[in-house]
Structure 1
């Protein structure tokens, strides 16, 4: 039998650091044909075991950093189209077709989920930082984006061809700037953004310290 018959339609990379509480719900929400790749970035709460129990491929990523986990998941993927999504329960994987379908239909090369937050889901400091970064990105690339959200989709080989090098919080921004420089068609679609699973804290913008660190890493990408 042709091996391609067993290949998933879409691979979903879930960078993960201590998300055992949220993973069962997140993994249960994957649409048919979407396969989870949990990139475990040194969890100490058994996240890797929980992910494996719920059918995900688990990739151990010893190098710490959001970009390190995301890129390791990308390299482990085999599907033509790859999505990225947070593992903390703030985003509903059932909505992944919103970002994947335009890529699969060759209507766009990179699709970003523009977060539409529920009350209390997005701290003010994180919103302000996101707005500032979007404005800097517009000046750098001309792209009129409103959000640098973590839910996104593109073709695997094309992403690898961008040669992304950031392994920290600048990785999502580097993906967009590199795609723009390569002439990709980049677009946004709306996705819901909810409160995280109880006990889960965003490693990117869940705290003021995390937001400052993210701005620092992303500003370095823009400076390059």
Structure 2
């Protein structure tokens, strides 16, 4: 079994499609981060384990999901590999084996899904450019050969807990890659389809969300010695 953490904030519209497409052997953990649209009820109705994380923040939701997976493993010992993906229907759960299989096979310690837009407009140009700047910084500064800080990813649960991630905002995915590289993990990348999300993005869809994500990622880069002058459009 493989646990799949889905941070969630008002994704009731997208969750049925996402959860119905979960592959066999993959167990969804929906972390409700203060939704007001009944996302928690929708997730439970579709068979997901629902975890409530009242502290707002993408990283807070991811970490709560990781702890829930760790507690579940302590109870049944079934899932050592853990995946993360967005709950907004921009990523197809049926592609989760693309990121998980190399980890299961011992070929990589962390696998990121490089987003390839499936339709025109699925990934706004300003967001793609910002991601490219960040990925280039990772390649040059941290020696991580990635082209996308993909939200669909897989690694081993115990190893991830051991990294001791501390960011609880939008810098969490970046910190994961930086700490993994520093620990000598083999980081790989595979292509996954990127679809138009359901509803409006909390990050790229608003100026406030974009600025918040930029500030969080700058803080993580600075903390890990990657410099404070890096400009990261989002």
TM-score bracket for this pair, using the shorter chain length: over 0.9
Query: Which string of whole-angstrom CA distances, capped at 9 and with x for unpartnered residues, describes residues 4-61 of structure 1?
Result: xxxxx10000000000000000000100010000000000000000000000000000
Q: TM-score, normalised by structure 1?
A: 0.93
2:56 match: 64
Q: Which runs of 5+ in 1 are unaligned?
A: 1-8
TM-superposed CA distance for 1:71, in Å, is 0.6
2:172 match: 171
Q: Matched residues in 2 for 1:182 and 1:20: separation?
A: 37
TM-superposed CA distance for 1:168, in Å, is 0.1
2:40 match: 48
Q: Matched residues in 1 for 2:130 and 2:211: separation?
A: 8
1:35 match: 27
Q: Matched residues in 1 for 2:165 and 2:37: separation?
A: 29
TM-superposed CA distance for 1:82, in Å, is 0.4
Residue 5 of structure 2: SS of its match in structure 1? strand
Structure 1 segments of 4+ aligned residues over 6 angstroms from their partners: none
Alignment of 1:1-224 (within 5 A): 9-77=1-69, 78=73, 79-117=79-117, 118-197=119-198, 200-224=199-223
TM-superposed CA distance for 1:121, in Å, is 0.6
TM-superposed CA distance for 1:83, in Å, is 0.3
TM-superposed CA distance for 1:137, in Å, is 1.5
Q: TM-score, normalised by structure 2?
A: 0.89
* 8 Å Cα contact 1:129-1:211 kept in structure 2: no
Q: Matched residues in 1 for 2:189 and 2:98: separation?
A: 10
Query: Which string of whole-angstrom CA distances, capped at 9 and with x for unpartnered residues, describes residues 136-164 of structure 1?
Result: 22222111210001000000000000000
* 8 Å Cα contact 1:61-1:72 kept in structure 2: yes
- How many residues in Structure 1 have an aligned counterpart in Structure 2? 214
TM-superposed CA distance for 1:109, in Å, is 0.2
Residue 179 of structure 2: SS of its match in structure 1? helix
